Amino acid sequence: MGVTPFRKEPLTDFSQGLNRAAFEAALSRVENQLGRDYPLIIGGEEVFTEKKISSINPSQLDQVIGYVARGDKDLAEKAIQAAVHTFESWKRVAPEARADILRRRKHQFSAWMVLEAGKSWVEADADTAEAIDFLEYYGREMIRLAQPVPRIVIPPWNFPLAIMVGLTVSSIVAGNTVVLKLASNTSVIAAQFMKILNEAGLPEGVVNFLPGPGGEVGEYLVQHSLARYISFTGSREVGLRINELAAKTAPGQKWIKRVIAEMGGKNSIIVDREADLEQAAAEIVRSAFGFCGQKCSACSKAIIHKDVYDTMLEKVTRLTQQLKVAPARNLEIDMGPVVDERAVEKIMDYIEIGKKEGRLVTGGGRGKGNGYFIQPTLFADVDPEARICKEEIFGPVLAFVKAKDFDHALAIANNTEYGLTGSVYSRNRSHLEKARDQFHVGNLYFNRKCTGAPPAASTCPAPIPKPAAPTTCSNSLRPNWYRKCFD
Ligand SMILES: NC(=O)c1ccc[n+]([C@@H]2O[C@H](COP(=O)([O-])OP(=O)(O)OC[C@H]3O[C@@H](n4cnc5c(N)ncnc54)[C@H](O)[C@@H]3O)[C@@H](O)[C@H]2O)c1
Ligand SMILES: N[C@@H](CCC=O)C(=O)O
């Protein structure tokens, strides 16, 4: 049977009153459901536990989003046995991903993300659209995917719908069964998604829902003799630990475990002497401060040709100072809160480091309000060897670095152990060609921001050969692998 071609889910136009009203209504509906209890789901059975994960609204710390049951090693054992048991029947069934069920509740899922993850309306809408894209994409890709096995899926909290859905659905459409070990911060959104899978008619035991601490439940699953495939997205530190643990053979283990680990980034935008500076400035600000810089793809290093450095610094500073930081519940914000207290501490530590390594131009402190707000922060004249130029901060902190020429800019961009995304703004074709060869990243963009990779939809005029994979970014399951385009 033929399938219709993949089409990217359109984003919501919030300038339309009807769309704003529909989103407001979804927020109100979700607010009426706050504070509920959510069970684990193992082999289709709901399991409530004594210990619970309390999920709170990072924009408003006294608001509880929900209480989610907390897995432990015994429950992890049950979940893996359920996945192995169900695998025997599921591997013979070829289901379709039912994107329509999620599409009908689009705003509702986005509303959960506004409240639980602190995403702005626009960022939450894009996350939901990407989740729908993954359902559509993997529904079509199922026949090309690997031999089925029981899988462990470990997503991060920062794309609480899109990445969790992408990792889970890419597994199940190919006939795998899944133990889904969630990030605790955003487990209510995932609990809502479990309801959708149930409604779509997914048999019990195909996806087993297991929130719980990474060090305890995650490591137990990864080391289990029956775990055969681990799909992980998260920090480099945890990804490398999982890779190491999975490489050790457990007693009774028959198969060599396979690990897909998509990890962190330290991403640069290069602005050349000949470039559209207005566009570059606006998009540096979006890439650096959209969702508070809490994207693996976020720009945290702006590398600027010396001839346009002062102009760019002035433009980016002005735009940064205009950003409105406030609770994510309101449409008219540019930045909501960061996700939790740990994130606040880590980011504020980096800001203190930045004060010693560069010149603080704007920001540098906590934002106002009863939430995890941090001001968008810009450091200028940062040395390429500075820590804030090399380490992933995962927050709203941007370093400006001056380059002598284009080759120097590329060398600064590549001066990191990460290799995830990067952009070049230039009108010089030979510089773009050079970047195409020498900029060491997984996703490279020309004259476009470095966040917001579209699943499956390539705008490249022609395919370009794939280079050796960067050491800390394995995107092998991602449909957007190594896209280099002019747009
Ligand atoms: N490359 C990508 O596509 C991509 C996408 C999104 C996020 N990220 C990265 O993810 C990070 C932010 O997400 P995070 O804070 O959730 O990351 P994290 O590594 O702290 O956690 C990711 C997941 O791993 C689990 N975990 C933690 N310790 C574990 C252990 N010892 N064993 C097994 N599982 C364990 C967590 O509970 C969570 O579910 C950033 O570094 C970001 O760059 C990468
Ligand atoms: N898909 C997102 C990155 C996900 C990581 O956090 C982007 O391309 O900006």
pLDDT digits (tens, 9 = 90+) for 298-307: 999 999 999 9
Q: What is the per-residue pLDDT for 427?
A: 96
Per-residue pLDDT, averaged over 423-451, amounts to 96
Name every protein residue with a CB atom under 6 angstroms from any ligand 2 atom: 158-159, 295-297, 451-453
For residues 54-73, average pLDDT = 97
Please give the distance, rounded to the nearest whole angstrom, from the Cα atom of residue 49 to the centre of ligand 2.
33
Q: What is the pLDDT of residue 152?
A: 94
Amino acid identity at 194 = M
For residues 69 and 53, what is the distance between their CA atoms, to the nearest angstrom? 6
Res 143 pLDDT > 80: no
- Which residue in the block uniquely carries the two structure tokens 């560069």? 358
Ligand 1 binding pocket (C-beta < 6 A) is 154-159, 163, 181-183, 214-215, 218-219, 222, 233-235, 238, 241-242, 262-265, 296, 392, 394, 420, 473
Give the rounded percent of residues in the chain with a pLDDT score beyond 90.
Answer: 79
The DSSP line for 95-163 is: PPP-HHHHHHTHHHHHHHHHHHT---HHHHHHHHHHHHHHHHHHHHHGGGS-----EEEE--SSSTTHH
Please write the tens of the pLDDT for every residue from 269-289. Answer: 999 999 999 999 999 999 999
On whether the CB atoms of residues 443 and 482 are closer than 8 A, the answer is yes
Rounded-to-integer distance, Cα 422 and Cα 304, Å: 13
Q: What percentage of the chain exceeds 70 in pLDDT?
A: 90
Distance of alpha carbon 448 from alpha carbon 444, whole angstroms: 9
DSSP string, 46-74: EE--SSEEEEEETTEEEEEEEEEE---HH
Q: How remote is the CA of residue 253 from the centroid of ligand 2, in Å?
A: 35
The structural domains of the chain, ordered by start, are: 17-263 (3.40.605.10), 267-446 (3.40.309.10)
Residue 456 pLDDT exceeds 60 = no
Residue nearest to atom 10 of ligand 1 (CA): 234
Mutation to probe ligand 2, out of 161, 295, 392, 448 (largest number of atoms < 8 A from CB): 295
Which ligand sits closest to the CA of 244? 1
Instruction: Identify the residue with better confidence: 90 or 27.
Output: 27
pLDDT reported for residue 62: 97
Catalytic positions are 262, 296
pTM for this one?
0.91
> What is the CA(183)–ligand 1 centre distance, in A?
8
Alpha carbons 424 and 414: distance in angstroms, whole number: 13
Please name the residues in contact with 28: beta carbons below 8 A apart, sequence gap of 6 or more. none
What is the atom index within ligand 1 of the atom nearest the CA of 265? 43
Cβ within 8 Å of residue 17, ≥6 positions away: none
Determine the 3-state secondary structure of 443 from DSSP: strand
Do 423 and 444 touch, CB atoms closer than 8 A? yes
